[in-house]
Protein backbone atom coordinates (compact mmCIF):
# COMPACT_ATOMS: atom_id res chain seq x y z
CA UNK A 1 0.00 0.00 0.00
CA UNK A 2 1.33 3.43 -0.92
CA UNK A 3 2.35 5.58 2.03
CA UNK A 4 0.64 8.94 2.30
CA UNK A 5 1.91 12.00 4.06
CA UNK A 6 0.40 12.36 7.57
CA UNK A 7 -2.13 15.17 7.91
CA UNK A 8 -3.33 17.53 10.64
CA UNK A 9 -5.48 15.65 13.12
CA UNK A 10 -3.81 12.31 12.45
CA UNK A 11 -1.42 10.43 14.71
CA UNK A 12 2.25 11.04 14.04
CA UNK A 13 3.60 7.90 12.33
CA UNK A 14 5.73 5.61 14.49
CA UNK A 15 9.35 5.78 13.32
CA UNK A 16 12.66 4.64 14.83
CA UNK A 17 15.31 7.25 14.09
CA UNK A 18 19.05 7.70 14.64
CA UNK A 19 19.91 11.04 16.22
CA UNK A 20 22.80 12.93 17.76
CA UNK A 21 21.38 11.77 21.12
CA UNK A 22 21.13 8.11 20.10
CA UNK A 23 18.15 6.06 18.90
CA UNK A 24 14.71 7.60 19.43
CA UNK A 25 11.26 6.23 18.74
CA UNK A 26 8.82 8.83 17.46
CA UNK A 27 6.34 9.58 18.84
CA UNK A 28 6.49 7.07 21.72
CA UNK A 29 9.56 8.54 23.43
CA UNK A 30 7.74 11.88 23.65
CA UNK A 31 4.43 10.52 24.94
CA UNK A 32 2.83 13.03 27.29
CA UNK A 33 4.80 15.93 25.80
CA UNK A 34 4.42 18.32 22.94
CA UNK A 35 7.19 18.12 20.39
CA UNK A 36 8.24 19.99 17.29
CA UNK A 37 10.00 18.11 14.53
CA UNK A 38 11.61 20.50 12.07
CA UNK A 39 13.59 19.64 8.97
CA UNK A 40 16.33 21.71 7.38
CA UNK A 41 17.89 21.43 3.90
CA UNK A 42 21.49 20.73 4.92
CA UNK A 43 24.16 21.08 7.59
CA UNK A 44 26.86 23.75 7.21
CA UNK A 45 24.53 26.17 5.38
CA UNK A 46 23.98 29.78 6.47
CA UNK A 47 20.19 29.98 6.82
CA UNK A 48 19.97 26.61 8.59
CA UNK A 49 22.69 27.72 11.00
CA UNK A 50 20.70 30.85 11.90
CA UNK A 51 17.63 28.67 12.46
CA UNK A 52 19.40 26.25 14.79
CA UNK A 53 20.75 29.16 16.83
CA UNK A 54 17.28 30.74 16.95
CA UNK A 55 15.63 27.48 18.06
CA UNK A 56 18.28 26.94 20.75
CA UNK A 57 17.89 30.51 22.04
CA UNK A 58 14.21 29.71 22.66
CA UNK A 59 14.67 26.12 23.81
CA UNK A 60 13.99 26.96 27.46
CA UNK A 61 10.80 28.77 26.43
CA UNK A 62 9.62 25.69 24.54
CA UNK A 63 10.47 23.44 27.49
CA UNK A 64 8.39 25.68 29.78
CA UNK A 65 5.46 24.71 27.54
CA UNK A 66 6.30 21.00 28.00
CA UNK A 67 7.53 21.00 24.40
CA UNK A 68 10.67 19.40 22.98
CA UNK A 69 12.54 20.19 19.75
CA UNK A 70 13.86 17.65 17.23
CA UNK A 71 15.82 18.62 14.11
CA UNK A 72 16.17 16.57 10.93
CA UNK A 73 17.98 16.54 7.60
CA UNK A 74 19.21 13.90 5.16
CA UNK A 75 22.80 14.39 6.33
CA UNK A 76 24.65 11.64 8.18
CA UNK A 77 25.02 11.75 11.94
CA UNK A 78 28.75 12.58 11.83
CA UNK A 79 27.91 15.67 9.75
CA UNK A 80 25.34 16.76 12.36
CA UNK A 81 27.89 16.26 15.12
CA UNK A 82 30.60 18.28 13.37
CA UNK A 83 28.15 21.06 12.48
CA UNK A 84 26.87 21.27 16.06
CA UNK A 85 30.49 21.39 17.26
CA UNK A 86 31.17 24.21 14.76
CA UNK A 87 28.19 26.19 16.05
CA UNK A 88 29.42 25.77 19.62
CA UNK A 89 33.02 26.72 18.84
CA UNK A 90 32.34 29.62 16.46
CA UNK A 91 28.99 31.05 17.59
CA UNK A 92 29.17 30.12 21.28
CA UNK A 93 25.78 28.37 21.18
CA UNK A 94 25.37 24.82 22.51
CA UNK A 95 22.68 22.91 20.59
CA UNK A 96 20.95 20.81 23.24
CA UNK A 97 18.15 19.15 21.25
CA UNK A 98 18.60 15.99 19.15
CA UNK A 99 19.00 16.05 15.38
CA UNK A 100 17.79 13.13 13.26
CA UNK A 101 20.23 11.73 10.69
CA UNK A 102 17.99 10.68 7.81
CA UNK A 103 20.75 9.84 5.35
CA UNK A 104 18.63 7.14 3.68
CA UNK A 105 15.76 9.60 3.15
CA UNK A 106 13.28 7.18 4.73
CA UNK A 107 11.85 9.65 7.26
CA UNK A 108 11.75 12.44 4.69
CA UNK A 109 9.68 10.22 2.39
CA UNK A 110 7.23 9.25 5.14
CA UNK A 111 6.71 12.87 6.19
CA UNK A 112 6.70 14.40 2.70
CA UNK A 113 9.76 16.57 3.30
CA UNK A 114 11.27 16.46 -0.19
CA UNK A 115 9.57 18.59 -2.83
CA UNK A 116 11.07 17.77 -6.25
CA UNK A 117 10.71 21.28 -7.66
CA UNK A 118 12.83 22.60 -4.78
CA UNK A 119 15.73 20.15 -5.19
CA UNK A 120 16.70 16.90 -3.51
CA UNK A 121 17.19 18.25 0.03
CA UNK A 122 14.47 18.42 2.65
CA UNK A 123 12.42 21.61 2.67
CA UNK A 124 11.98 23.60 5.89
CA UNK A 125 9.05 21.70 7.40
CA UNK A 126 7.60 21.97 10.90
CA UNK A 127 5.35 19.39 12.58
CA UNK A 128 3.73 20.42 15.86
CA UNK A 129 2.62 17.31 17.77
CA UNK A 130 0.60 17.25 20.99
CA UNK A 131 0.98 14.97 24.06
CA UNK A 132 -1.43 12.45 22.51
CA UNK A 133 0.87 12.17 19.46
CA UNK A 134 -1.67 13.98 17.26
CA UNK A 135 -0.32 16.32 14.58
CA UNK A 136 -1.77 19.76 15.32
CA UNK A 137 -0.05 21.84 12.64
CA UNK A 138 2.22 21.42 9.63
CA UNK A 139 4.23 24.28 8.12
CA UNK A 140 6.33 24.26 4.96
CA UNK A 141 8.89 26.87 4.02
CA UNK A 142 11.04 27.00 0.87
CA UNK A 143 14.80 26.69 1.20
CA UNK A 144 15.36 30.41 0.70
CA UNK A 145 13.16 31.55 3.62
CA UNK A 146 14.15 31.02 7.23
CA UNK A 147 11.47 30.34 9.82
CA UNK A 148 10.09 32.60 12.55
CA UNK A 149 10.59 30.69 15.81
CA UNK A 150 8.52 33.15 17.83
CA UNK A 151 5.52 32.26 15.66
CA UNK A 152 6.11 28.54 16.22
CA UNK A 153 6.31 29.12 19.99
CA UNK A 154 3.14 31.26 19.79
CA UNK A 155 1.36 28.38 18.05
CA UNK A 156 2.25 25.94 20.82
CA UNK A 157 1.04 28.39 23.48
CA UNK A 158 -2.13 29.06 21.49
CA UNK A 159 -2.95 25.37 21.13
CA UNK A 160 -2.50 24.86 24.85
CA UNK A 161 -4.77 27.78 25.77
CA UNK A 162 -7.36 26.59 23.23
CA UNK A 163 -7.30 23.02 24.55
CA UNK A 164 -7.54 24.07 28.19
CA UNK A 165 -10.35 26.60 27.73
CA UNK A 166 -12.32 25.33 24.73
CA UNK A 167 -11.75 28.57 22.80
CA UNK A 168 -10.14 29.75 19.57
CA UNK A 169 -7.31 32.20 19.10
CA UNK A 170 -7.76 35.39 17.02
CA UNK A 171 -5.28 36.67 14.47
CA UNK A 172 -1.97 37.84 15.94
CA UNK A 173 -2.97 36.56 19.40
CA UNK A 174 -2.13 37.71 22.05
CA UNK A 175 -1.95 41.08 20.32
CA UNK A 176 -5.10 41.07 18.21
CA UNK A 177 -6.24 44.33 16.64
CA UNK A 178 -9.85 43.92 17.85
CA UNK A 179 -9.80 41.98 21.13
CA UNK A 180 -6.22 42.31 22.35
CA UNK A 181 -5.13 39.30 24.41
CA UNK A 182 -8.66 37.91 24.75
CA UNK A 183 -9.82 34.75 22.99
CA UNK A 184 -12.76 33.84 20.78
CA UNK A 185 -15.77 32.04 22.26
CA UNK A 186 -17.13 29.23 20.04
CA UNK A 187 -20.30 30.42 18.23
CA UNK A 188 -23.63 29.07 19.56
CA UNK A 189 -25.30 26.21 17.71
CA UNK A 190 -28.97 27.01 18.31
CA UNK A 191 -31.27 30.04 18.55
CA UNK A 192 -31.65 29.91 22.33
CA UNK A 193 -27.90 29.96 22.87
CA UNK A 194 -27.53 32.73 20.30
CA UNK A 195 -29.84 34.94 22.37
CA UNK A 196 -28.12 34.14 25.65
CA UNK A 197 -24.48 34.36 24.64
CA UNK A 198 -24.44 38.15 24.32
CA UNK A 199 -25.45 38.38 27.99
CA UNK A 200 -22.48 36.29 29.10
CA UNK A 201 -19.63 37.73 27.01
CA UNK A 202 -18.43 40.83 25.23
CA UNK A 203 -19.70 40.47 21.67
CA UNK A 204 -19.62 42.27 18.33
CA UNK A 205 -22.60 40.07 17.45
CA UNK A 206 -24.00 36.73 18.66
CA UNK A 207 -21.55 34.81 16.44
CA UNK A 208 -18.49 36.91 17.39
CA UNK A 209 -17.91 36.93 21.15
CA UNK A 210 -14.69 37.09 23.13
CA UNK A 211 -13.47 36.72 26.70
CA UNK A 212 -10.44 36.73 28.93
CA UNK A 213 -8.61 33.56 29.96
Which active-site residues does the annotation give? 48
Alpha carbons within 13 A on the beta-carbon side of 147: 25
How many residues does the structure list for the chain? 213
Q: How far apart are the first and last CA of the chain?
A: 46
| Contact criterion met (CB below 8 Å) for 75 and 47 | no
DSSP letters for 8-52: TTSBPPPEEEEETTEEEEETGGGTTSEEEEEE-S-SS-HHHHHHH
| Contact criterion met (CB below 8 Å) for 72 and 39 | yes
Q: What distance in Å separates the CA atoms of residue 137 and residue 147, rounded to the nearest whole number? A: 15
Amino acid sequence: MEEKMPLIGEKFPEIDVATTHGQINLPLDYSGKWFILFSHPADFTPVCTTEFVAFQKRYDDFKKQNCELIGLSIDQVFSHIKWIEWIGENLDVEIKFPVIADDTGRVAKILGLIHPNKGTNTVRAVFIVDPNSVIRAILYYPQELGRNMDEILRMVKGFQVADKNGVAMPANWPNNELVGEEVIVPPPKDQKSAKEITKKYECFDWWFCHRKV
